Amino acid sequence: MAETASSPASRQTPVPGSGATPFLRARVRRHPEVRARLEEAEERLSKFAARSRLSRGRAVPEPPDDMRTAFQRDRDRIIHSKAFRRLKHKTQVFIAPVGDHYRTRLTHTIEVVQVARSIARALNLNEDLTEAIALGHDLGHTAFGHAGEEALAEVLPGGFRHNEQSVRVVEVLEKDGRGLNLTWEVRDGILKHSKVRESISAEAWGIAETLEGQVVKVADSLAYLAHDLDDARRAGILAHTPLPRRFVEALGERTSQMIDAMIADVVDYNWRVAEGAGSHWREAVGNGVAIAPSPAMLEVLDSLREFMFRNVYRDSIAQRDVPKARFVLHTLFKHYLRHPELLPSELRANPRREPLERLVADHVAGMTDRYALSEFERLFIPRAWSGMMDVPSGGDGDER
């Protein structure tokens, strides 16, 4: 909190070891009027926007924060979580990419936030809730992208889906098993952001209860279609497969043009949301079902998605290491099943008495690309040995 040079708090000089810090903390005034002002500002949003003061709450009730709304608090908890930090070393499309300019799961998340907030702002929806959902939507993604997700789905009884794992991360796994205790609205949006191969607007886990959650589902697809195409071009994967002319005519040539065209379409098609038209949000969204692109744009985007599946996601040089990635995760999963004593202590504690397979999946799903590869190498690849000179004095020869 900002202070002036003449304020009493600024004249206090903590002395190391003097216990002055708790004293100063006790003297700092709290300002609940800040949260009240923020909540009051939310009343100027569309009548269909979520209000933080009307949240369905948290699994474990907590007193409100003085200077943040409930959704802002959720956003901050996600940003400071370990799972969020790990996204920087998880695959988006290219497995363990060497180039500095390829997207990772973290940069994908940031771009989803940008697209989602742009749509939410234009439609006069709650940007804080939108941001929190977007930041948390991929927390449960595995190493090696969707190849890793499919690998765990093959070995975990009941299957594995990254959106369900993202909810598990925020409800169960973070903070050594206590979870982040996020609001119901954020957890609902995280769960329902995912879609199936059929269409970017297809229902899989149902429709998010908030329009903000629906915005994130759309923004996720818009962001990855634009930036995965950009990465594929940079990597030379589409050098001999030019983008069909109809995509260029509808969306533009550059990534910025594509994102702008996509966002403008979603905003225009659902403009009645911003106006608060109708008695229920279903009467305001363009298709009467949920926030989505216009039918013409949806056809273009679904066709572009199929183009990307054929030429990038499934059959391209970028996927040549997918079988190896699946083998790595399968092997690690089986190894930890045989050696549960190697699991982290918070998983071994298992206060919910969950099956071992579930705990192992949590551990393997949390690994980054490089950690999974280093663990595989440590556990299964012989190290070079040049004789007794490698043995530390008084050691057993294990340099690790």
DSSP state of 91: B
Kindly report, residue by residue over 281-327, the tens digit of the pLDDT. 999 999 999 999 999 999 999 999 999 999 998 877 777 889 999 99
> Residue 168 corresponds to which tokens in the numbers above?
């598990």
Cβ(218)–Cβ(200) below 8 Å: yes
pLDDT at 10: 40
pLDDT at 78: 98
Give the pLDDT of the chain (400 residues) as one tens digit per residue.
444 444 444 444 444 444 556 666 667 888 999 999 999 999 999 999 999 999 999 999 999 999 999 999 999 999 999 999 999 999 888 876 677 889 999 999 999 999 999 999 999 999 999 999 999 999 999 999 999 999 999 999 999 999 999 999 999 999 999 999 999 999 999 999 988 777 888 888 899 999 999 999 999 999 999 999 999 999 899 888 889 999 999 999 999 999 999 999 999 999 999 999 999 999 999 999 999 999 999 999 999 999 999 999 887 777 788 999 999 999 999 999 999 999 999 999 999 999 999 999 999 999 999 999 999 999 999 988 766 555 555 444 333 3
Nearest CA to 88 out of 102, 104, 101, 100 is that of 104
Domains and CATH numbers, the chain: 72-319 (1.10.3210.10)
Distance between start and end Cα atoms, the chain: 45
Beta bridge partner(s), residue 104: 91
CA dist 281 and 284 (Å) reads 5
pLDDT at 7: 42
Beta bridge partner(s), residue 58: 183
Kindly report, residue by residue over 107-162, the tens digit of the pLDDT. 999 999 999 999 999 999 999 999 999 999 999 999 999 999 999 999 999 999 99
pTM value is 0.89
pLDDT at 314: 83
- At 274, the amino acid letter reads A
Cβ(145)–Cβ(19) below 8 Å: no
pLDDT at 383: 86
> Residue 230 corresponds to which tokens in the numbers above?
């950009």
pLDDT at 384: 80
Cβ(215)–Cβ(291) below 8 Å: yes
pLDDT at 201: 86
pLDDT at 386: 66
CA dist 400 and 398 (Å) reads 5
- At 267, the amino acid letter reads V
